[in-house]
Structure 1
Amino acid sequence: MIEKIYSTLETFDEIKLHNGLNILLADITKKSTDKDTRNGLGKTTFVEIIHFLFGGSCTNNSVFKLPIFKNHFFIMDYVLDDTKFTVKRRGFDSNYVYVCCEKGSKYDSFFGEQERKMKVADWNEFLGESLFNLDNKDSRINENIKFRTLFPYFARKAADGGFLESSRYYKNQKVFPTQIALTYLLGLDTKLSIDQKNLEEKKKEIADLKKVLKTDAYQEIVNEGINLDTEITILEEKANNLKRELESFQVHPKYKEIEVEASSYAKQISDLSNKNFIDRQIITELKEASKNEENISDINIKDLYEEVKVKLPDALVKTFSDSKIFHERLISNRKNYLSSELNKYEKLVKEREGLIKNLSIEQSKRMEVLNTHGALEQYSLLQTELNELVNRIITYKNQQKLIISIREEEANLKIAEQKLIIEITKSLEEHTKTKQKAILLVEEASKSLYNSAAQLNIGQTKTGRYDIEMVSRNQGSTGINSMLIYCFDMMMIQMSTYLGRKMDVLIHDSALYDPVDERQIAEALRFGKEKSLEKEFQYIITLNSDDLPESVAIEVKNNILSKVLTDSDESGSLLGVYY
């Protein structure tokens, strides 16, 4: 129970609270005009202060971070297990709270005799264990349920959308975190709702994996019609052949140099062969000319001599004997020349043949090296080709593994999903007593407000997950929706006691009552007053004075807190200053 809210801020008047119903009233003064408003008096800020002291977040936009307030502590006296705690927190170092408890309590060993400065996270852990019996050693519970995921059900904030739906305190609150929190607060099997969440996350993972199979990148790897098993078999055979080829491949360090030498020898041999071919033609012609020279006769020389005399009568012509001698010398010289030329070309051809033989031997040696070895470049090309094949095989195998994994996981998920549906059905039957208690608590609260009672449904959806919701025949009405939340919250605070938990504070901002008619507000206040005393919990509400029904004003007179917010001037507001 909260005993008192106060602050080091001088303009803040302390607010003392008591057990049962507590009404923080915002009143209109005689000086107020129609243009005056009570929206800025601090009703919502009061709820924010309680959240702040119960470990709520404090962003840079928070009122507690404003320069006028950030160095001032907001303080709460809180009683737990008959032990009074004093809790302080400020915006300046909002990641910490300052806590001290009465001496001689069972909490001395945790907090010590002096005021303890502790991280907000540690404070929240303590509150979760102390107020909601959260087992911080249970990793599954600890990962999915925190004090701050449960407390807002007992202190809803209008700014967060807390008064839109009974099962949620936050507008965009997701389904599975909601189901986990509700199953815990209602005493159902929370671990099954955690299993549901995990199952849903796995289904999303599978859906994301299946999207990968539809991407262009994958389609480029696996074209339509390709069978991965077949393709992998073919590629692996190619890879094995390349591996064997590489294993037998001998790299010669001077392969390129030897290849150039062999090519050079081949060119020299070709050039020499071409020259020999030409010279052999010359040799043939020289031999033919020598043979013709031997056939020349004296008659021919005589006839030639006579013909010269006729044609050149005036020329000086030697005697025939002189001419014959000259001719014989000429023939002899011609033979000698032809013989000399023939010997020269034959010698050249023979020399070239020897050179060709030697060059051929050297070329043969180098060709033998080239035939039994390979160049590093060739080896690298083969290695590159093998690497590309191996990479393709790995890619195909990964894709094949992905497809098989998806199929197997989908099958396993279907089995797990059906199994979980059965387990939840069975669990709901096992928790019949707890379920009935919650349903009847809602029934009791709703009957005090309506002739047609609202109902709490606890069961399963068509897909098998937990289904916890408030329903009413007139759920389309805004006022009806507010009272559904009222009935739900009244059930939740009483279930806390029923389940042996120590959470004993329920807070409602005036936003809950804004759309509700006067008669229903009166009945809600009566029921809240009665039940909070009977079940020993603290029901704190903020309310505008003109929303307080006259029919119940006298009954709740003593429940109105001494601090009444007014709009006369800034001193009448909760913080005592305008900001």
Structure 2
Amino acid sequence: MIIKKLTIYSFSLNKTLKEYPFNEVGLNVILGERTEEGQETNGVGKTTMVESINYLLGGSCPSDFKGKESISSKDIFIVLQIDKDGRDIYLGRIINQPDKGFILNSNTLNFDINNWVEKEKNDEYKDHINEFIIDINQEEPSFSALREYIIRDEKKGFIDIGLPYRNALYESMYLSYLFGLPYDFEFDISKLKKQQKELNKKLTLINSLKNEIGDLKLKEEKLNKEIRDLDEVVKNVKLTEKLRKDATDYSLSKEKYNKIQNGIFELTHIKKQYEKNINDLEEKTKEIKVLNDIEPFYKQLIGYFPNEIKKNHEQISSFYDFMVESRGKYFRHKIDEINRQISSDTKELNKIEEVLSRKTQAFKNTDIITDFSRINEEKNEKYEELAEIRLKVNLYQEKTEVTVQVNKLKQEVLRLIGIKHDIYTNFQEHISYLEELFNIFVLQTYNETGVLQFELNNSTGINHTTGRIKIHCQIDDEKSHGRLYMKINMFDLTWFINGLRKEGKIHFLIHDGSYSKPDRNASKRLLKYINNELKHLGKGQYFVTVNIDELEEQLFNKFEKEKLIIAKLQRGNDDKDRFFGFRYTN
């Protein structure tokens, strides 16, 4: 795909405001000016042009466009002309209708919107870009996923070779894809790891039942007997015997209730004491710190601070700081334990309270029908409790099968990473070529070498990023912003030039603001080299934004002579030399 021209049209004025034809091979320099020395931006429209191209290729509507009366009143329509396999296609966005996208298949551009295919939803427009414009199949990363690596944003794109706030798995996939390396290794293995993690959670739950499984089985048998006894009461109408049993159960439950309640009262008291201890320590520390004023007092009074008093003050202060740190931490830990125990005991207390309430109703009631109804309710509750116990018992019995499944998944991960490693080994020659290509850029730019390394992570631990191709890129003294920006330029140019040489699908690269900080001589050498390389290849477009003072006069004259400067954006001339041909921001 070749980007041929960007057009700005006003529906309200019924005329074309600006046209920017692009070089179909080589450099496309978007040139701006500065108002003051050291100022990073100038507001004439370099970034706006890049954002417009990004918007037309499926990105979001630039925030600067929204709510601007100067743009809204002119009803601006921006159009990108592209060449796809030798035929022209026009992509259009109406700034006042940011949710829509328009496509025109025609030999000539016209502004009758009825002739355009309208995509009513932004997602539909993006899908069209993904599936048709770039021609990436469904198994490959979509263009919308790659777009921010192909069109580097000046605000976030040059912090590092990766982009901020991106999912590490997917970022690794996208960069591997751009470099022509296998990109789905980790994704394939992560599916198995996800299943393994779910089974591990289940296994952890099963193992937590180990110490109580015996009690659960005994309780299961006890509940079965109690249900049989209730059935016997209903069958033989043994209500008197049932009431005697209820009375016994009531006494036992009441005794247990009182015991737990007393325990909660005792725990609450201990908790308050721990809280008081913490408060006392903190208050003491505050009091000690007040004594910090004693040193200037002594110095003012007698001209110095006696060593014995100073030493004693420091020891006391140090002691209480230590006590707040160590004992305070201990007390807080004990408070957390008490809170958990109180919560558990309170739940048990509520259950016993329900039992007591039900038994009390039995003693008060004289209606035989109600008695039978109450017995059935009690039986249903026991069935519910029995179901919970049986669920846990059955779950524990699955331990062997779950362990077998986990082991099978581990073996499958090992088998898969073995296959992936063999595939990766076949790319060693390609990797060496990429490393060499990056070093050619560093040599041309700084007359030194850098580091570009690729490493397959074949560690198979459950939390390891198994299958991820890690990329390490470094040049000397890259902590300086200028060199960091240049490293990222060369990093991107490595996958870009490699893709052009290996018949890749991405034929353009855009860097906005990445030449504002690097040394002018380094920028000159890299830009000249890349332009010559693209001309030699006979394909590929490299778009860069620069300010006029970032180019040497000789280089500026060369670029202008070779028509590499596709836009000169500046103030003056009634703002006609700005990107839109008018000023739209303050």
Which category of TM-score, normalised to the shorter sequence, fits these structures?
A: 0.5 to 0.7
Alpha-carbon spacing, 1:492–1:399, altered in 2? closer, same or farther (3 Å): same
The one-letter code matched in structure 1 to 2:18 is: D
Shift of 1:399: 6.5
- Aligned equivalent of 2:330: none
**Of the candidates 25, 37, 40, which is equivalent to residue 31 of structure 2?**
25
- Aligned equivalent of 2:419: 423
Alpha-carbon spacing, 1:450–1:204, altered in 2? closer, same or farther (3 Å): farther
The one-letter code matched in structure 2 to 1:76 is: L
Alpha-carbon spacing, 1:156–1:403, altered in 2? closer, same or farther (3 Å): farther
- Aligned equivalent of 2:94: 90
Correspondence list, 1:298-447, <5 A: 375-377=371-373, 379-380=375-376, 382-394=378-390, 396-397=392-393, 400=396, 411=407, 414-447=410-443
Alpha-carbon spacing, 1:55–1:229, altered in 2? closer, same or farther (3 Å): same
- Contact 1:250 / 1:374 at 8 angstroms: preserved in 2? no
- Contact 1:251 / 1:379 at 8 angstroms: preserved in 2? no
Distance 1:91 1:418 in 2: 52
- Contact 1:78 / 1:86 at 8 angstroms: preserved in 2? yes
- Aligned equivalent of 1:194: 187
Alpha-carbon spacing, 1:185–1:75, altered in 2? closer, same or farther (3 Å): same
- Aligned equivalent of 1:128: 130
Distance 1:101 1:524 in 2: 37
2:510 matched to 1:526? no
- Aligned equivalent of 1:359: none
Correspondence list, 1:195-274, <5 A: 195-198=188-191, 201=194, 227-245=211-229, 248=232, 250=234
- Aligned equivalent of 1:547: 550
The one-letter code matched in structure 1 to 2:184 is: K
- Contact 2:33 / 2:42 at 8 angstroms: preserved in 1? no
- Aligned equivalent of 2:9: 8
2:57 matched to 1:54? yes
- Contact 2:79 / 2:90 at 8 angstroms: preserved in 1? yes
Distance 1:184 1:425 in 2: 17
Q: Helix, strand or coil for the counterpart of 1:554?
A: helix
Deviations 1:221-259 (A, max 9, x none): x79xx6243233223322433454455554589989xx9
Alpha-carbon spacing, 1:480–1:400, altered in 2? closer, same or farther (3 Å): farther
Shift of 1:411: 4.5
If you compute each CA radius of gyration, which structure gives the higher value, 1 or 2?
A: 1
**Structure 2: segments with no counterpart, 5+ residues:** 109-113, 244-368, 460-465
Distance 2:39 2:182 in 1: 51
Q: Helix, strand or coil for the counterpart of 1:188?
A: coil
Deviations 1:175-224 (A, max 9, x none): 111111122222322221312444565577678779x96xxxx99xx79x
Identity %: 21
Distance 2:386 2:70 in 1: 69
Distance 2:458 2:510 in 1: 34
Shift of 1:62: 4.8
- Aligned equivalent of 2:144: 148
Alpha-carbon spacing, 1:381–1:80, altered in 2? closer, same or farther (3 Å): closer
- Aligned equivalent of 2:579: 574
Q: Helix, strand or coil for the counterpart of 1:22?
A: strand
**Of the candidates 177, 180, 184, which is equivalent to residue 170 of structure 2?**
177
Alpha-carbon spacing, 1:570–1:35, altered in 2? closer, same or farther (3 Å): farther
The one-letter code matched in structure 1 to 2:522 is: Q
Alpha-carbon spacing, 1:453–1:232, altered in 2? closer, same or farther (3 Å): same
Alpha-carbon spacing, 1:33–1:190, altered in 2? closer, same or farther (3 Å): closer
Distance 2:37 2:483 in 1: 29
Q: CA RMSD in A?
A: 3.8
Distance 1:193 1:500 in 2: 25
- Contact 2:6 / 2:80 at 8 angstroms: preserved in 1? yes
Alpha-carbon spacing, 1:374–1:100, altered in 2? closer, same or farther (3 Å): closer
Shift of 1:407: 5.7
Distance 2:480 2:456 in 1: 26
Distance 1:95 1:8 in 2: 18
Alpha-carbon spacing, 1:201–1:374, altered in 2? closer, same or farther (3 Å): closer
Distance 1:476 1:47 in 2: 27
User: After the TM superposition, which of the residue ranges 64-73 and 438-447 deviates more from structure 2?
Assistant: 64-73
- Contact 1:228 / 1:400 at 8 angstroms: preserved in 2? no
Alpha-carbon spacing, 1:230–1:187, altered in 2? closer, same or farther (3 Å): same
**Structure 1: segments with no counterpart, 5+ residues:** 105-112, 260-372
Deviations 1:287-317 (A, max 9, x none): xxxxxxxxxxxxxxxxxxxxxxxxxxxxxxx
The one-letter code matched in structure 1 to 2:418 is: I
Q: Helix, strand or coil for the counterpart of 1:448?
A: helix
Alpha-carbon spacing, 1:207–1:24, altered in 2? closer, same or farther (3 Å): farther
- Contact 2:154 / 2:511 at 8 angstroms: preserved in 1? no
**Of the candidates 476, 479, 491, which is equivalent to residue 476 of structure 1?**
479
**Of the candidates 145, 151, 157, which is equivalent to residue 153 of structure 2?**
157
The one-letter code matched in structure 1 to 2:520 is: E
**Of the candidates 68, 71, 75, which is equivalent to residue 70 of structure 2?**
68
User: After the TM superposition, which of the residue ranges 465-474 and 5-14 deviates more from structure 2?
Assistant: 5-14
The one-letter code matched in structure 2 to 1:165 is: D
- Aligned equivalent of 1:502: 505
Q: TM-score, normalised by structure 2?
A: 0.65
Shift of 1:5: 0.9
Shift of 1:449: 1.0
Shift of 1:468: 1.9
Distance 2:199 2:17 in 1: 56
Q: TM-score, normalised by structure 1?
A: 0.66
Alpha-carbon spacing, 1:439–1:124, altered in 2? closer, same or farther (3 Å): farther
- Contact 2:23 / 2:564 at 8 angstroms: preserved in 1? no
Shift of 1:434: 3.3
Alpha-carbon spacing, 1:550–1:439, altered in 2? closer, same or farther (3 Å): same
Deviations 1:132-171 (A, max 9, x none): 54222x4xx5xxx321111222210022x111112x2x31
Alpha-carbon spacing, 1:191–1:249, altered in 2? closer, same or farther (3 Å): farther
The one-letter code matched in structure 1 to 2:30 is: L
Deviations 1:481-524 (A, max 9, x none): 22221112112222333443332111111x21122111111111
Shift of 1:574: 1.4
The one-letter code matched in structure 2 to 1:234 is: L
Distance 1:49 1:255 in 2: 85
- Contact 1:17 / 1:561 at 8 angstroms: preserved in 2? no
Distance 2:396 2:95 in 1: 56
Q: Helix, strand or coil for the counterpart of 1:172?
A: coil
The one-letter code matched in structure 2 to 1:87 is: L
- Contact 1:3 / 1:76 at 8 angstroms: preserved in 2? yes
Q: Helix, strand or coil for the counterpart of 1:563?
A: strand
Q: Helix, strand or coil for the counterpart of 2:18?
A: coil
- Aligned equivalent of 2:321: none
